[in-house]
């Protein structure tokens, strides 16, 4: 038996970029090799539906993200890799939890509050453009987590409140119906560097400064060449601690390579030469998985098969557990 269950979800919106890779995908795949841990990694397509109502984009993004995890070597024999919407137990549990979740708790969710505030600032109706999916998002996320009795949930800082809500919801349920749920914990890794984007701010879709993970070689080089630097000339010493380019390099480098690059900065390496080294380092890590990715994308049937296999394994746990939960709330045969 594995000691702990680690679970995390990836919203199926957009194309994976270098920041997603360094901050989430790579550490998750590494963690899944730990023999003490049972990992559940899933594509959160119901969460994506809150914002993304273009069916074509939904399919595209689901395909790209699934292919990414497989190309990067996620071992689907040990990790359970599935698509949220293939597990009907999750929306069923969502409703059950919704009925024991205080509306006041949801009123306090950062994402919902920010959307209301934006409306107030714009002088429009506070509910403008807000759907119930956004409001109930933390309950669906709680169901994702509680459905598998997850202990540890690796997430970004912005998701910590959602984990606190999942604990609240689980506690309230356990108190009323008996101890069914494990109280999950957020795992926020502050050592994982937040990758800067091309403009030096945090790499994020909302800043439009991302470098897509699977750019072909030439375009990857071009994207790296566009990273902002300053006007110091070749030969002038440069400061690695204030350089987005150096941060990007560091996220892929060994400590030895990092020291060498620091020295090169002090010795006045030209920006163009430094960028070329950053490109070569990143490209050497990605070139083999990139070939696998390109092959996988051409075979969506194969990816679908993997997801179906994952769904079966996930339901091996979810189906009997949901039966117990239904029984606990009194939804059961009457005769
Ligand atoms: N809300 C998470 C995010 O935006 C994605 C997510 C959905 C998730 N369900 C989850 C993360 C369950 C961890 C556990 O990043």
Cα–Cα distance, 81 to 312 (Å, whole number): 10
Section 252-270 average pLDDT: 97
Cα–Cα distance, 60 to 70 (Å, whole number): 16
Q: Is the CB of 109 under 6 A from ligand 1?
A: no
Model pLDDT, residue 2: 76
Provide φ and ψ at 244, rounded to 5°. -60, -40
Taking Cα atoms as reference points, which of 23, 10, 123, 142 lies closest to residue 70? 10
Q: Is the CB of 28 under 6 A from ligand 1?
A: no
Centre of ligand 1 from the C-alpha of residue 248, in Å = 25
Q: Is the CB of 6 under 6 A from ligand 1?
A: no
Mark residue 129 as left, alpha or beta (left: phi above 0; alpha: psi -120 to 50; beta: remaining): left
Model pLDDT, residue 193: 64
Model pLDDT, residue 102: 96
Mean pLDDT over the full length of the chain = 95
Q: Is the CB of 20 under 6 A from ligand 1?
A: no
Model pLDDT, residue 3: 86
Residue 313: how many other CB atoms lie within 10 Å: 16
Centre of ligand 1 from the C-alpha of residue 10, in Å = 6
Q: Is the CB of 50 under 6 A from ligand 1?
A: no
Model pLDDT, residue 296: 97
158 has pLDDT over 90: no
Helix/strand/coil (H/E/C) assignment for every residue in the chain: CCCEEEEEEEECCCCCEHHHHHHHHHHHHHHCCCCCEEEEEEEEHHHHCCCCCCHHHHHHHHHHHHHHHHHCCCCCCCCEEEEHHHCCHHHHHHHHHHCCCCHHHHHCCHHHHHHHHHHHHHCCCCCCCCCHHHHHHHHHHHHHHHCCCCCEEECCHHHHHHHHHHHHHHHHHHHHHCCCCCCCEEECCCCCCCCECCCCCECCHHHCCCCECCCCHHHHHHHHHCCCCCCCCCCCCCCHHHCHHHHHHHHHCCHHHHHHHHHHHHCCCCHHHHHHHHHHHHHHHHHHHHHHHHHHHCCHHHHHHHHHHHHHHHHHHHHHHHHHHHHHHCCCCCC
Q: Is the CB of 84 under 6 A from ligand 1?
A: no
Q: How sure is the predictor about 157, in pLDDT bands with cuts at 50, 70 and 90? A: confident
Ligand 1 atom 8, closest CA: 9
Q: What is the pLDDT of residues 33-44, one digit of tens each?
A: 988 999 999 999
47-58: burial string, b at 16+ Cβ within 10 Å, e else: bbbbebeeeeeb
Q: What is the pLDDT of residues 183-235, one digit of tens each?
A: 999 998 776 667 899 999 999 888 999 999 999 999 999 999 999 999 999 99
Section 142-160 average pLDDT: 95
Q: Is the CB of 145 under 6 A from ligand 1?
A: yes
Spell out the residues 6+ positions from residue 283 whose beta carbon is closer than 8 angstroms to its own: 217, 220, 221
Centre of ligand 1 from the C-alpha of residue 136, in Å = 13
Model pLDDT, residue 29: 93
Q: What is the pLDDT of residues 58-106, one digit of tens each?
A: 999 999 999 999 999 999 999 999 999 999 999 999 999 999 999 999 9
Centre of ligand 1 from the C-alpha of residue 232, in Å = 42
Q: How sure is the predictor about 124, in pLDDT bands with cuts at 50, 70 and 90? A: very high
Q: Is the CB of 9 under 6 A from ligand 1?
A: yes
* Atom from ligand 1 closest to the CA of residue 10: 5
Section 242-271 average pLDDT: 96
Ligand 1 atom 13, closest CA: 8
Using alpha carbons only, give the angle 294, 296, 302 rounded to the nearest 5 degrees: 165
Return the structure tokens found at 297.
Answer: 């994308």
Model pLDDT, residue 120: 98
Q: Is the CB of 23 under 6 A from ligand 1?
A: no
Centre of ligand 1 from the C-alpha of residue 310, in Å = 18
Section 132-159 average pLDDT: 96
Residue 299: how many other CB atoms lie within 10 Å: 11
Model pLDDT, residue 263: 97
Cα–Cα distance, 260 to 254 (Å, whole number): 10
* Atom from ligand 1 closest to the CA of residue 144: 12
The answer to whether 77 and 35 are in contact (CB under 8 A) is no
1 has pLDDT over 80: no
Q: Look-up: residue for tokens 């179906």?
A: 308
Ligand 1 atom 6, closest CA: 9
Q: Is the CB of 47 under 6 A from ligand 1?
A: yes
* Atom from ligand 1 closest to the CA of residue 140: 9
Q: Is the CB of 44 under 6 A from ligand 1?
A: yes
306 has pLDDT over 70: yes
The pick from 14, 40, 47 for probing ligand 1's pocket by mutation, whose C-beta has the most ligand atoms within 8 angstroms, reads: 47
How crowded is the C-beta side of 173, counted as CA atoms within 13 Å? 29
* N-to-C CA span, the chain: 37
Model pLDDT, residue 205: 84
């Amino acid at each position: 038996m594995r000691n702990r269950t680690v679970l995390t979800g990836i919203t199926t919106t957009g194309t994976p970029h270098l920041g997603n890779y360094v901050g989430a995908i790579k550490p998750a795949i590494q963690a899944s090799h730990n023999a003490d841990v049972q990992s559940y990694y899933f594509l959160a397509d119901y969460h994506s539906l809150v914002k993304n109502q273009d069916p074509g984009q939904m399919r595209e993004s689901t395909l790209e993200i699934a292919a990414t995890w497989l190309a990067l070597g996620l071992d689907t024999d040990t990790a359970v890799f599935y698509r949220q919407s293939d597990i009907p137990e999750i929306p069923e549990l969502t409703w059950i939890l919704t009925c024991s979740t205080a509306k006041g708790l949801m009123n306090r969710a950062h994402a919902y509050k920010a959307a209301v505030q934006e409306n107030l600032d714009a002088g429009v109706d506070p509910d403008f453009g807000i759907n119930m999916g956004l409001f109930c998002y933390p309950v669906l996320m709680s169901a994702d987590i509680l459905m598998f009795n997850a202990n540890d949930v690796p997430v970004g800082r912005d998701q910590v409140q959602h984990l606190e809500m999942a604990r609240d919801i689980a506690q309230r349920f356990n108190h009323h119906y008996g101890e069914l749920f494990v109280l999950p914990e957020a795992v926020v890794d502050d050592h994982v560097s937040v990758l800067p984007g091309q403009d030096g701010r945090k790499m994020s879709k909302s800043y439009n400064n991302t470098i897509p993970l699977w750019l072909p070689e030439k375009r990857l080089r071009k994207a790296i060449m566009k990273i902002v630097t300053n006007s110091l000339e070749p030969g002038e010493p440069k400061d690695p601690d204030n350089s987005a380019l150096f941060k990007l390099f560091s996220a892929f480098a060994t400590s030895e390579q990092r020291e060498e690059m620091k020295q090169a900065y002090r010795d006045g390496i030209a920006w163009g030469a430094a960028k070329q080294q950053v490109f070569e380092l990143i490209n050497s890590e990605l070139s083999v998985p990139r070939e696998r990715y390109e092959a996988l994308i051409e075979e969506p049937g194969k990816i679908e098969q993997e997801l179906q296999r994952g769904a079966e394994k996930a339901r091996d746990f979810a189906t009997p557990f949901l039966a117990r939960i239904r029984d606990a709330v009194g939804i059961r045969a009457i005769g």
